[in-house]
A and B are shown apart, each in its own frame.
Chain A
Amino acid sequence: MRKKTRGIYASKMKRATHMLFYRRHKKPGVKGWELRKALGVDYPKVLGILDNYLKSLDMQVKTVFEGAKKPTKKPSIEELDTARFYVTLRGDLTPKETKMIGWRIDDLAGLAVTIAHIISKKGQAQRKEVEKLLSEKLPGWKVGLNLDKYIRYGYLHQDDNDLLYLDWRTRAEVDEKALIESLLRSDTQTTLSFESTKNNKQLDA
């Protein structure tokens, strides 16, 4: 790459970093068309360079296509324009780190169960059904609060018929396929009630 071209891309990369890291709207992330307007038609290339740069920092540029459907072929400009771009972690978090970013183990486990359940129910489940599932291992008073929290954060959406769906944050942050696969692969243990696990070595003591 020539020195001048390199300079142009470095400046575009900086602009893209500002746009992606700082929240511009109510929801985080930037739409493709916004990036095109700010960086030019070659914004996918700029994002590619940025993604490569972020690799060493264990971060990535994540693309979430509209309607949560990933195009089978190389995405078209129209598909990219309507997609939303985020910066997310590239690798795994350790359980200790989750506490650092403000999540309790109970809340996160509840979220995992809720998401897995909704996926298995074809993307929607009755709130009562999920509450029943969560109350098997969480105290009753916490179940409703947790579900409201997941909705507030954008992981879930609830409609007027009390049906729960996966919302924008789940689509941006969770690899649904990987979650289901690792859940099915996990070793089955004897059922442990919520109370009995209290004595386990916990992170949320």
Chain B
Amino acid sequence: MQSRKDHKRLGKEKLQRIIEMCAAVENRTVDPFLLEVDDLIRVVKEYFPNWEETNELNLDSEAIHHLASVIKLQSEWVKHCSTSLYTDPFLLEEKISNVNKNELLNVFLKAWRPLIELEQLSMTIIAAAMRYWNNLVPIMERWQDLDVQEVAIGITNREELVKSRVLQKQFFSDELNNYWKELKKKADKNGKDGKLLYWDFIGATTYEETVERAYLTSFLLTYGYATLEIHPLEEEIFIKPFKKSHKDILTQQSISIPISVTYENWEKWKRGELD
């Protein structure tokens, strides 16, 4: 006798096949009436009592969802058949293959009403164009060269590049690491349950610094150094550092959470009005 485990596995395979068949119909590669929906629903019903896990129930509901789409396609087809424009495609194909091109042309010409358009210049347009041309400032005057001083080619070093803000003081990875350490320290010291309010972490004395900290924080979250905890009812966002970085997070599908770091919000935070 088939074991319960085998029975479940077979059921899952059948559901998977149903989903694939329905997807083929939805992608218009298969005629929707090729599927016997009643039989498929019977299969879904038969295996339904076996499902206990969330993924099994998800699979079941996905199959039902796809079957509903197929029924919708079938109903659209029936609706189309009842319109005056419906013609049996096979009959039409037969006609098309049996009619010669001259005859086909005559048929088409009876139904074709090509658009009529004019492409012509008038004296008024030419006169207006001439007026525009005469008033147009020469290109040399419109696109004047930028006044850039010519300097001799020389050698620069890292300090100078940092000074002129081409490079940063630290490498980005080092900066991110230090930032992570700061977050862990703050969460231990000031946080509750190892987490901090997002704004309390990114908020700084100047708005520019706050934006820079928000920018770095986004990398901490993306690269698996920390996570966000959102309480929608309280409208609170917490940031929680991980003890160890979760690099595997990069291989998983991630979601984006937009957080507005506006000047107004920064001012509110400074006044203590923003959580």
**Which residue numbers of A lie inside 8 Å of B, CB to CB?**
21-23, 28-29, 59-60, 62, 86-90, 92-95, 98, 101, 105-106, 108-109, 111-113, 116-117, 119-122, 124, 126, 133, 136-137, 161, 163, 169, 172-180, 182-184, 186-192, 194, 197, 200, 202
Contact = CB atoms under 8 A, between A and B. Distances in A.
B99 A186 contact: yes
Given A112-B104, A163-B28, A200-B100, A176 B85 contact: yes
Interface of A: prevailing SS:
mixed
B107 interface: yes
Contacts of A200: 100, 102
A28 to B, nearest CB: 5
Most buried by A among B92, B95, B111: B111
Contact of B105 (A105, A191, A192): A105
A94 B100 contact: no
B146 interface: no
Given A28-B115, A95-B106, A122-B77, 13 more contacts: A60-B113, A88-B113, A88-B116, A120-B88, A126-B28, A161-B27, A173-B113, A178-B111, A180-B87, A186-B95, A186-B103, A188-B98, A189-B100
Given A180-B92, A183-B95, A174 B112 contact: yes
Interface string B42-83: 000000000000000000000000000000000011001000
Interface string B155-170: 0000000000000000
B89 interface: yes
Contacts of B98: 188-191
Nearest to B29: A126
Nearest to A111: B108
Contacts, number: 146
B95 A22 contact: no
Contact of A191 (B80, B89, B97): B97
B85 A177 contact: yes
A184 B96 contact: no
B235 to A, nearest CB: 40
Given A21-B118, A106-B101, A173-B112, A117 B87 contact: no
Contacts of A163: 28
A98 B109 contact: yes
B109 A92 contact: yes
Contacts of B110: 92, 178-179, 182
Contacts of A161: 27-28
A186 B107 contact: yes
A152 to B, nearest CB: 15
Contacts of B105: 95, 98, 105, 108-109, 112
A179 B118 CA distance: 27
Nearest to B81: A122
24 contacts: A23-B117, A28-B115, A60-B113, A88-B115, A90-B113, A92-B110, A93-B109, A95-B102, A95-B106, A111-B108, A117-B93, A119-B85, A124-B28, A163-B28, A174-B111, A175-B111, A178-B111, A182-B110, A182-B111, A183-B99, A184-B95, A187-B103, A189-B103, A200-B100
Contacts of B112: 93, 173-175, 179
B154 interface: no
Contacts of B91: 184
A176 to B, nearest CB: 6
Which of B98, B107, B117, B119 has most A Cβ within 10 Å?
Answer: B107
Contacts of A93: 109, 112, 114
Contact of B115 (A122, A172, A178): A172
B115 A120 contact: no
Among A87, A112, A172, A194, which residue has the most Cβ atoms of chain B within 10 A?
A: A112
B115 A133 contact: no
Given A86-B115, A112-B104, A186-B103, A117 B84 contact: no
A22 B96 contact: no
A163 to B, nearest CB: 7
A165 to B, nearest CB: 11
A140 B89 CA distance: 23
Contacts of A98: 105, 109
B108 A117 contact: no
B99 A180 contact: no
Contacts of A176: 85, 111
